[in-house]
């Protein structure tokens, strides 16, 4: 596709055309680059060097510690052609202080003598290594006449390469692309540019591709920081436009009188935390604003999201409307229902549960009650969004475990209620930079304290060599009437092998404890999975062997032991989620991290942090530092954008600045019509944020 289609502004056309127009790039190289996702000049411009080679001229190879790449002026002293087939051609040369050898393997017979005539002076640059105390440079990268030294870059950029493309070709292609880069109007706030000494876009590209020293390759180098900021700003502008569009959608002013919430709070044996009360106040303000709410409620394991969700739902019930709470699985929906029911009863409010298992007359009766407004709050799975589910007046939809829904689904969610507000909840503590990358279109409420009564969990690191001891102590705990989970390892990214591990462990534990052991994994039919969970929740089984199916949800207060086998194969956030399944009742709880010795450095760091901290947000920040952004939320289903230049782990502050700046720009210039707004439109085209461009034209 050429640069002209799709309505893209003319000034950007050269950056989106084919590479065959670039100097020195033929059809074959262009095709190789295209297959590697570098098919346009724009792609080359945003592929910055990943390293550099110091090619500054040295006096002698003795001036550097070898092995190293060295550039020196030499005199050619002697040629020794290959003594036999397969042997090298050796050229002895001397610099100002030392003599060394230049080696050529399989070179055409007369080539070394032509490149390095006897007695001549040349500049050579290449890697020198020591062999038996003698320096050797095999196949120099450069051999130049002495007066050509200025044509050698002092610091040569090294690009990430694709098969079939050399550094030389890549360098040539990039230079061709840079020649096409136009001067573009400035989309970054002038004050910010002056304060941070930010170069212009074109200047940043030029500097980014021509580093002078290693420091120029760091994410903090001004050129790289500028180009990273452009990516983050375009992304945040897209999210801010989605947010503005959602907010422009007319909402309804929903104000409750507080009477139902008061009854619930009076029935609680404890006071809600300040964080819970703050989140409820933020939600209440959103509901009353007359704009569509689009808020994310982020709380660590056991931070009390369910109570916040109920109080939010009661605001709309007080105002005469209905609410819905949607969970990702039937088990979780059931659990939310079980948790909400006694509190709703205390308030005199009707709560109903609807899942895909409701059939025939029972389902019809539930739907009728809902349509007539006799059901105040409906809890369920995605079955809530089927065609025949009609509310009399849906005002608020609460979605649990948000990371299973991308931005697109969020934008479609409010459709059930004419103007329903949406509150999404996640128990996955996400570092702030990732939360902004993934949920920048939403307003954020964070529950960062634990309600009273949550017991700390003792975390132990135990080597798998002591497996028998662990089984023995489990036996004693079960005899005392306690319950335990045993989570099996993530053998690899495959259900089947995880399943084998779980079934194998189940068989072994069954031999020890008999029928007291249950098994649950992702491949079980839903009814069997529910039955196994139910048996454990009711205490009919004492030990539940599971794959990570149980990571989210599942509340069994009597379960006070969590064994995680091969804990070193799990991510930190996942271990933290699993540990959160215990410590919910009155008994002191323990989490045993079984690891296979010896532990690698990274695994040791992860498991030690888990033993020392129960703060999900601290753990998530550390997880991000150890594993990188994509892995923390699992890129495949996270909707997390992939950035070419920006580094979310190391540039979290830049993401916050980009979000503030994007929201401010849209606040001051909602249609992006000012000179800076027009420049920002160019940036969106440049970054291929087509969705954002559609949102402007709609808005």
Average pLDDT over residues 399-428: 64
User: Which pLDDT belongs to residue 260?
Assistant: 97
* Angle formed by the axes of helices 222-248 and 652-668, nearest 10°: 50
One fold for 5-52+167-212 and 56-152: no
pLDDT band at 81 (very low <50, low <70, confident <90, very high): very high
- The whole-angstrom separation of Cα 303 and Cα 584 is 11
CA 177 vs CA 154, 205, 536, 571, 673: distances in Å: 22, 10, 63, 41, 29
User: Which pLDDT belongs to residue 495?
Assistant: 52
User: Which pLDDT belongs to residue 638?
Assistant: 39
- At CA 333, angle to CA 430 and CA 492, rounded to 5? 55
- The whole-angstrom separation of Cα 547 and Cα 559 is 17
pLDDT band at 629 (very low <50, low <70, confident <90, very high): very low
CATH classification of 56-152, choosing from 3.40.190.10, 3.30.365.10, 2.40.50.140, 2.40.290.10? Answer: 2.40.50.140
Q: Work out the end-to-end distance of the chain between its first and last CA atoms, rounded to an integer number of angstroms.
A: 28
Contact 389, 417 (CB under 8 A): no
Least confident segment among 85-94, 124-133, 388-397: 388-397
Give Cβ neighbours of residue 91 (< 8 Å, ≥ 6 apart): 76, 78, 79, 80, 101, 102, 103, 104, 112, 116
Domain spanning 457-613: which CATH class is it, in words? Answer: alpha beta
pLDDT band at 224 (very low <50, low <70, confident <90, very high): very high
Check pLDDT > 90 for residue 4: no
Contact 356, 380 (CB under 8 A): no
User: Which pLDDT belongs to residue 325?
Assistant: 93
Average pLDDT over residues 651-668: 90
Q: Residue 668 is encoded by which pair of tokens? A: 């001051």
Average pLDDT over residues 266-280: 92
What is the bridge-based pairing of β-strands 121-131 and 134-138?
A: antiparallel
Question: pLDDT tens digits for 168-218?
Answer: 889 989 999 999 999 999 999 999 899 988 999 999 999 999 999 989 999
User: Which pLDDT belongs to residue 400?
Assistant: 85
Closest by CA position to 439, among listed 665, 693, 638: 638
- The whole-angstrom separation of Cα 236 and Cα 436 is 8
- DSSP 3-state assignment of 338? helix
Contact 270, 451 (CB under 8 A): yes
Q: Where are the domains of the chain?
A: 5-52+167-212, 56-152, 228-249+650-698, 259-447, 457-613
- In sequence order, the β-bridge partners of residue 141 are none
- The whole-angstrom separation of Cα 349 and Cα 689 is 45
Question: pLDDT tens digits for 476-526?
Answer: 999 999 999 999 875 444 555 555 688 889 999 999 999 999 998 877 887
Check pLDDT > 70 for residue 610: yes
User: Which pLDDT belongs to residue 3?
Assistant: 47
CATH code, 259-447? 3.40.50.300
User: Which pLDDT belongs to residue 493?
Assistant: 45
Closest by CA position to 643, among listed 410, 436, 408, 437: 437
Residue found by looking up tokens 């005392």 in the block = 480
Contact 251, 291 (CB under 8 A): yes
- DSSP 3-state assignment of 296? strand
User: Which pLDDT belongs to residue 123?
Assistant: 97
CB environment 443-458: b (16+ within 10 A), e (fewer): bbbbbbebbeebbebe
Q: Taken in order 267, 273, 279, 281, is the CA torsion positive or negative?
A: positive
Question: What is the Cα 19 distance to its own chain's centre?
Answer: 32
- The whole-angstrom separation of Cα 123 and Cα 277 is 73
- In sequence order, the β-bridge partners of residue 520 are 546
Give Cβ neighbours of residue 56 (< 8 Å, ≥ 6 apart): 71, 154, 155
User: Which pLDDT belongs to residue 149?
Assistant: 84
CATH code, 5-52+167-212? 1.10.150
Check pLDDT > 60 for residue 412: no
Closest by CA position to 295, among listed 431, 446, 447, 445: 445
What is the bridge-based pairing of β-strands 57-58 and 89-94?
A: unpaired
Residue 404 per-residue DSSP state: G
Check pLDDT > 90 for residue 644: no
Check pLDDT > 70 for residue 1: no
Q: Would you say the pTM of this structure is higher than 0.75? A: no
- The whole-angstrom separation of Cα 94 and Cα 393 is 89
- The whole-angstrom separation of Cα 457 and Cα 562 is 10
Give Cβ neighbours of residue 570 (< 8 Å, ≥ 6 apart): 489, 490, 548, 564, 578
User: Which pLDDT belongs to residue 77?
Assistant: 97
- DSSP 3-state assignment of 51? strand
Residue 88 per-residue DSSP state: P
**Burial (CB count within 10 angstroms: exposed 0-12, middle 13-18, buried 19+), residue 601:** exposed
Q: Taken in order 222, 223, 224, 227, is the CA torsion positive or negative?
A: positive
Question: pLDDT tens digits for 231-262?
Answer: 999 999 988 888 787 777 777 899 999 999 99
Residue 71 per-residue DSSP state: E
Q: Taken in order 619, 621, 626, 628, is the CA torsion positive or negative?
A: positive
Give Cβ neighbours of residue 699 (< 8 Å, ≥ 6 apart): 241, 244, 245, 248, 670, 671
Q: Residue 162 is encoded by which pair of tokens? A: 């694709």
The percentage of residues in the chain with a pLDDT greater than 70, rounded to a whole number, is 88
Question: pLDDT tens digits for 547-571?
Answer: 876 654 567 888 999 999 999 888 7
Higher pLDDT: 135 or 356? It is 135
Q: Residue 312 is encoded by which pair of tokens? A: 């939010």
User: Which pLDDT belongs to residue 530?
Assistant: 79
Query: What 3 state SS string does 426-473 have?
Result: ECCCCCHHHHHHHHCCCEEEEECCCCCCCCCEEEEEEEHHHHHHHHHH
Region label for 20, one of left (φ > 0), alpha (ψ between -120 and 50) or beta (otherwise): alpha
Higher pLDDT: 332 or 698? It is 332
Check pLDDT > 70 for residue 636: no
Average of per-residue pLDDT values in the chain: 86
Closest by CA position to 662, among listed 672, 673, 650: 672
Phi, psi of 364 (to 5 degrees): -60, -40
- In sequence order, the β-bridge partners of residue 443 are 295
User: Which pLDDT belongs to residue 242?
Assistant: 81
Region label for 203, one of left (φ > 0), alpha (ψ between -120 and 50) or beta (otherwise): alpha
- At CA 29, angle to CA 23 and CA 33, rounded to 5? 105
User: Which pLDDT belongs to residue 699?
Assistant: 43
Contact 565, 505 (CB under 8 A): yes
Average pLDDT over residues 107-116: 92
- The whole-angstrom separation of Cα 638 and Cα 403 is 6
User: Which pLDDT belongs to residue 240?
Assistant: 87
Average pLDDT over residues 604-615: 86
- Other beta carbons within 10 Å of 501: 19
């Amino acid at each position: 596709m050429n640069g002209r289609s799709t309505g893209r502004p003319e000034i950007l056309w050269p950056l989106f055309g084919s590479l065959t127009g670039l100097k020195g790039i033929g059809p074959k190289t262009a095709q190789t680059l295209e297959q590697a996702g570098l098919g346009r000049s724009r792609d080359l411009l945003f592929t910055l060097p990943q390293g550099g080679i110091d090619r500054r001229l040295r006096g002698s190879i003795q001036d550097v510690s070898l092995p190293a790449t060295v550039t020196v002026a030499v005199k050619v002293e002697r040629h020794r052609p290959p003594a036999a087939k397969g042997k090298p051609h050796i050229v002895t040369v001397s610099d100002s202080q030392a003599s060394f050898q230049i080696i050529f393997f399989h070179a055409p017979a007369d080539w070394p003598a032509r490149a390095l005539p006897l007695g001549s002076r040349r500049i050579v640059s290449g890697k020198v290594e020591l062999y038996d105390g003698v320096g050797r440079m095999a196949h120099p990268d450069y051999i130049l006449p002495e007066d050509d030294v200025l044509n050698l870059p002092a610091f040569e950029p090294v690009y990430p390469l694709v098969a079939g493309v050399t550094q030389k070709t890549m360098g040539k292609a990039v230079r061709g692309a840079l020649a096409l880069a136009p001067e573009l109007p400035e989309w970054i706030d002038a004050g910010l540019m002056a304060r941070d000494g930010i170069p212009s876009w074109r200047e940043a590209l030029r500097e980014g591709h021509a580093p002078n020293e290693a420091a120029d390759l760091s994410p903090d180098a001004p050129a790289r920081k500028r180009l990273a900021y452009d990516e983050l700003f375009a992304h945040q502008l897209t999210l801010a436009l989605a947010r503005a569009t959602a907010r422009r959608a007319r909402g309804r002013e929903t104000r409750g009188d507080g009477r139902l919430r008061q009854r619930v709070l009076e029935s609680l044996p404890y006071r809600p935390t300040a964080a819970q009360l703050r989140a409820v106040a933020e939600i209440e303000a959103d509901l009353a604003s007359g704009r569509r709410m689009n808020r994310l409620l982020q709380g660590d394991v056991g931070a009390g999201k369910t109570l916040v969700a109920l109080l939010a739902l009661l605001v709309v019930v007080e105002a005469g409307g209905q609410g819905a709470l949607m969970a990702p699985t039937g088990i979780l929906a059931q659990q939310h229902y079980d948790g909400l029911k006694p509190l709703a009863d205390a308030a005199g409010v009707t709560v109903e549960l609807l899942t895909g298992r409701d059939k025939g007359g029972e389902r019809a009766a539930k739907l009728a009650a809902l349509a007539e407004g006799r059901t105040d709050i409906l809890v369920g799975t995605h079955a809530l969004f089927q065609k025949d589910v009609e509310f009399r007046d849906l005002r608020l939809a609460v979605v649990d475990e948000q990371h299973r829904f991308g931005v697109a689904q969020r934008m479609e969610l409010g459709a059930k209620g004419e103007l329903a507000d949406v509150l999404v909840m996640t128990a996955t503590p996400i570092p702030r930079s990732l939360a902004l990358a993934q949920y920048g279109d939403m307003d954020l409420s964070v529950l960062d304290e634990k309600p009273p009564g949550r017991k700390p969990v003792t975390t132990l690191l135990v080597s798998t060599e002591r497996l028998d001891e662990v089984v023995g102590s489990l036996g004693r705990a079960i005899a005392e009437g306690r319950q335990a989970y045993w989570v099996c390892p993530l053998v690899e990214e495959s259900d089947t092998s995880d399943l084998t591990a779980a079934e194998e462990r189940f068989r072994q534990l069954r031999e020890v404890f008999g029928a007291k052991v249950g098994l649950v994994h992702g491949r079980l039919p839903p009814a069997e999975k529910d039955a196994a969970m139910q048996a454990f929740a009711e205490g009919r089984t004492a030990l539940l062997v599971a794959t990570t199916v149980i990571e989210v949800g599942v509340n069994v207060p009597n379960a006070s032991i969590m064994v995680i086998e091969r804990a070193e194969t799990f991510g930190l956030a996942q271990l933290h989620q699993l540990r959160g399944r215990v410590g919910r009742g009155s008994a002191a709880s323990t989490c045993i991290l079984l690891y296979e010795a010896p532990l690698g450095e990274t695994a040791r760091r992860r498991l030690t942090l888990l033993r020392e901290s129960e703060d999900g947000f601290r753990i998530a920040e550390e997880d991000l530092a150890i594993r990188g952004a994509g892995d923390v939320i699992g890129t495949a289903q996270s909707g997390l954008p992939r950035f070419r230049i920006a580094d979310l782990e190391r540039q979290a502050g830049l993401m916050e600045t980009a979000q503030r700046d994007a929201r401010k720009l849209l606040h001051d210039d909602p249609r992006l019509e000012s000179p800076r707004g027009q420049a920002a439109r160019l940036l969106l085209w440049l970054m291929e944020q087509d969705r954002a461009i559609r949102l402007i034209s709609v808005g």
